[in-house]
């Protein structure tokens, strides 16, 4: 439906509505249910539509929802972090929590058109207590960074691993396994071991009992290999 509207006209219409009977109170926060918000919008602009954009995932595990609302020829875009009931960001949220975040984001997008925008008043003001609480949540659930790197003999990174088990399974067994070479490492494998032996020994010290045994066997196998003699060097001695 082609309807020519202005942002001012829509703002004046939606902002003038008394929505107090639709308010929900949770703790210190006032909410407007997305079902009520959308019903009110449909009563005024039944041709309005909305669209959710793909979530963005931050390195610390938090997630941002994105929504576009279109009313005729007008369009507003808004974003909202996936939050808990204290309005602190969630890390690694569930699909239900993301779903809730999307609908809250839609309500916030409607507020940009003037619908119950007062509900979000003050959310962007500095709040030391809120910042500290959110920092604690993020720190508590922050994903473990990559701890180990497996590199080629030239130093280029082949893979990164978050724990000793993954390091052993995905890197050491795949690259340093001698089952197919009759139990004897190839020259290429020896070079790989030499490039990674400090990382391997570090992982061995932190590994659980089962993995530590595998690390120990691997280290003993490669450390027992005699160094190749440089024939030219012998002649020069």
Give me the pLDDT at residue 26, please. 66
Q: Which residues are registered as beta bridge partners of 65?
A: 80
Domain boundaries, the chain: 7-141, 148-223
Q: HSE of 97 in the Cβ direction (CA atoms, 13 Å)?
A: 16
The pair of structure tokens assigned to 21 is 């009977």
| pLDDT score of 1 | 56
The CA distance from 213 to 68, in Å, is 55
The predicted pLDDT at position 46 comes to 95
Give CA–CA dist 161/199, Å, rounded: 11
From first to last of the 237 residues of the chain, give the pLDDT tens digit: 566 899 999 999 999 998 888 877 766 667 888 999 999 999 999 999 999 999 998 888 889 999 999 999 999 999 999 988 777 888 888 999 999 999 999 999 999 999 988 887 655 444 555 556 556 655 554 444 557 788 888 888 777 777 777 777 766 666 787 777 777 888 888 888 898 888 888 888 887 777 778 888 888 888 887 765 444 444 444
- The pLDDT score that the predictor gives to residue 92 is 87
The span from the CA of 174 to the CA of 125, in Å, is 52
DSSP assignment of the chain equals: ------HHHHHHHHHT---GGGEEEETTEEEE-HHHHHHHHHHH-TT-EEEEEEEEE-TTSBEEEEEEEEETTEEEEEEEE-B-TTSPBPBS--HHHHHHHHHHHHHHHHHTTTTTGGGGTTTTS--HHHHHHHHHHHHHHPPPPP-EEEE-TTS-EEEEESSHHHIIIIIIHHHH--GGGTT---HHHHHHHHHHHHHHHHHHHHS-HHHHHHHHHHHHHHHTSPPPP-HHHHHH-
Q: Which CATH architecture has domain 7-141?
A: 2-Layer Sandwich (3.30)
Separation CA 42–CA 110 (nearest Å): 12
Residue for token pair 């473990």: 144
At 16 the pLDDT is 92
- The pLDDT value recorded for residue 133 is 54
CB neighbourhood size of 179 (10 A):
7
Residue 63's alpha-carbon distances to 77, 88, 101, 182, 205, in angstroms, are 17, 12, 9, 49, 35
Taking Cα atoms as reference points, which of 52, 133, 65 lies closest to residue 93? Answer: 65
pLDDT at residue number 131:
58
């Amino acid at each position: 439906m082609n309807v020519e509207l202005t942002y001012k006209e829509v703002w004046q219409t939606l902002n003038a509505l008394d929505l107090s009977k639709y308010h929900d109170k949770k703790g210190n926060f006032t909410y407007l249910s997305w079902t009520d918000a959308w019903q009110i919008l449909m009563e005024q602009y039944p041709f309005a539509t909305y669209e959710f954009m793909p979530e963005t995932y931050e390195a610390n595990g938090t997630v941002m929802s994105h929504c576009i609302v279109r009313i005729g020829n007008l369009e507003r875009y808004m974003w909202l972090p996936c939050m808990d009931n204290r309005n602190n960001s969630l890390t690694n949220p569930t699909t239900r929590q993301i779903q809730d975040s999307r609908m809250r984001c839609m309500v916030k997008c409607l507020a940009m058109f003037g619908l119950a925008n007062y509900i979000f008043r003050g959310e962007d003001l500095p709040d030391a207590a809120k910042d500290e609480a959110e920092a604690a949540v993020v720190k508590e659930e922050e994903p473990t960074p990559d701890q180990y790197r497996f590199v080629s003999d030239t130093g280029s990174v082949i893979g990164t691993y978050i724990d000793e088990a993954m390091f052993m399974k995905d890197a050491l067994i795949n690259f340093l396994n001698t089952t197919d070479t009759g139990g004897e490492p190839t020259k290429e494998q020896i070079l790989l071991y030499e490039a990674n032996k400090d990382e391997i020994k570090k992982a061995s010290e932190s590994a659980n009992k089962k993995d530590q045994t595998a690390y120990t066997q691997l280290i003993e196998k490669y450390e027992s290999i005699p160094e190749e003699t440089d024939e030219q060097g012998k002649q020069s001695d």
